[in-house]
């Protein structure tokens, strides 16, 4: 059984690599035009100077993406590197979906054809690393050190991962709050997690504030806002822990008001996916099929724009 599992994942990796390379190499305009220029030039700088060049060029201080492209640019062509990273992300995503209760066919379909996965593969280059690290954390439940490091590094990969972190930790936050208030108990592990989160936020506070200001004024479309609230209602309905889901939803609403629904919906989609898969409800499966078809149409349009125009989000 294990050999079959690994063979399946190897095939996913290979197909996803070529799939990413063929489509990704055509994405040459919009944000990718800047990313490509930075990748080509960053190898000419020392580490410190490269970081200054990176921060000025991309208006970003996120260290994980910087380190990877600074090293990678000296070794390998950008499209090949990103195709490898995409393939790893696909495998991690596949494993997470299977862990949540997805069927093999559904997991493969989402990894290859879901709109939000395609955004991570081809458009949201820095956010891709945040999701990859967070996915590794979700799979590292028996390895606490790797889990904690991956969670913290995911925030350093992209500040937006704070949303995923808080959503994921909400049950622990509520449990710890109850113990502190009612039983006056405070676990050492909770202190470590909380300290790691606070230190991460302090270190990236300037980047976080700049992102919030930017998103507040840019990302507020009516249709995306409607989509957010539909997702929130479905999340609460399909959640096994509705009290926690309501608190998570309140946090999501707060996030939408601050950074805009366009940026939050990618997290909201995976939150909904988790609740539907965990619930194992027949009606939930129909909702999942509808979501798959809806996002497949979005994916086709997304890929079409890349192939014909060299960019997305026209």
132-180 residue pLDDT tens = 999 999 999 788 889 989 998 999 999 889 899 989 988 887 777 766 6
Angle between helices 78-100 and 125-139 (to 10 degrees): 40
Nearest to 20 by CA among 135, 98, 123, 136: 123
* Poorest-pLDDT segment among 43-52, 71-80, 82-91, 186-195: 186-195
How far is 109 from 299, CA to CA, in rounded Å?
Answer: 12
Q: What is the pLDDT of residue 56?
A: 93
Nearest to 84 by CA among 3, 152, 133, 19: 19
Q: Which of 243, 244, 240 is nearest to 276 (CA)?
A: 240
Residue 98 reports pLDDT greater than 90? yes
287-313 pLDDT, tens digit per residue, is 999 999 999 999 999 999 999 999 986
> In angstroms, rounded to a whole number, what is the distance separating the alpha carbons of residues 11 and 112?
12
Residue pair 126/62 in contact by the 8 Å Cβ criterion: yes
In contact, 131 and 117? CB cutoff 8 Å: no
Which tokens hold the place of 118? 């395609």
Radius of gyration of the chain (CA): 20
**Each residue of 169-193: pLDDT tens digit?**
888 877 777 666 555 555 555 556 5
pLDDT of residue 44: 95
Listed as own residue / partner, the contacts of 94-99 with beta carbons closer than 8 Å and 24 or more positions apart are 94/9, 94/12, 95/9, 95/135, 95/139, 96/135, 96/138, 96/139, 97/273, 97/277, 99/138, 99/139
Q: What is the mean pLDDT of residues 51-79?
A: 93
Whole-structure pTM value: 0.85
Average pLDDT over residues 18-36: 95
In the prediction, which pLDDT does 28 show? Answer: 94
Q: What is the 3-state secondary structure (H, E, C) of the chain?
A: CHHHHHHHHHHHHHHHHHHHHHHHCCCCCCHHHHHHHHHHHHCCCCHHHHHHHHHHHHCCCCHHHHHHHHHHCCCCCHHHHHHHHHHHHHHHHHHHHHHHCCCHHHHHHHHHHCHHHHHHHHHCHHHHHHHHHHHHHHHCCCCHHHHHHHHHHHHHHCCCHHHHHHHHHHHHHHHHHHHHHHHCCCCHHHHHHHHHHHHHHHHCHHHHHHHHHHHHHHCCCHHHHHHHHHHHHHHHHHCCCHHHHHHHHHHHHHHHHHHCHHHHHHHHHHHHHHHHHHHCCHHHHHHHHHHHHHHHHHHHHHHHHHHHHCCCCC
pLDDT for the residue 280 = 73
- On the question of pLDDT at 213 being above 60, the answer is no
Please check the confidence at residue 226 and state whether its pLDDT lies above 60: yes
């Amino acid at each position: 059984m294990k050999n079959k599992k690994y063979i399946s994942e190897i095939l996913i990796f290979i197909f996803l690599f070529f799939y990413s390379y063929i489509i990704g190499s055509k994405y040459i305009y919009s944000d990718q035009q800047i990313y490509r220029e930075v990748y080509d030039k960053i190898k000419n700088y020392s580490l410190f100077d490269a970081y200054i060049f990176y921060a000025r060029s991309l208006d970003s201080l996120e260290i994980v993406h910087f380190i990877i492209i600074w090293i990678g640019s000296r070794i390998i062509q950008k499209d090949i590197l990103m195709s490898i990273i995409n393939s790893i992300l696909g495998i991690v995503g596949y494993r997470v979906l299977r862990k949540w209760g997805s069927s093999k066919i559904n997991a493969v379909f989402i990894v290859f054809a879901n709109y939000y996965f395609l955004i991570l593969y081809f458009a949201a280059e820095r956010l891709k690393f945040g999701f990859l690290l967070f996915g590794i954390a979700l799979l590292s439940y028996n390895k606490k050190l790797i889990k904690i490091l991956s969670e913290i590094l995911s925030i350093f990969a992209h500040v937006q991962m704070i949303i995923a972190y808080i959503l994921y930790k909400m049950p622990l936050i509520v449990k710890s709050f109850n113990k502190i208030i009612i039983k006056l108990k405070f676990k050492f592990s909770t202190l470590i997690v909380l300290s790691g989160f606070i230190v991460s936020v302090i270190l990236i506070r300037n980047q976080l504030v700049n992102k919030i200001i930017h998103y507040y004024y840019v990302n507020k479309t009516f249709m995306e806002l409607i989509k957010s609230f539909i997702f929130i209602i479905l999340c609460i309905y399909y959640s096994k822990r509705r009290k926690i889901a309501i608190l998570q939803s309140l946090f999501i609403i707060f996030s939408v008001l601050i950074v805009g629904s366009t940026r939050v919906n990618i997290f909201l989609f995976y939150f909904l996916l988790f609740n539907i898969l965990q619930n194992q409800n027949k009606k939930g499966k129909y909702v999942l099929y509808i979501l798959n078809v809806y996002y497949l149409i979005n994916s086709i349009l997304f890929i079409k724009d890349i192939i014909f125009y060299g960019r997305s989000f026209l």
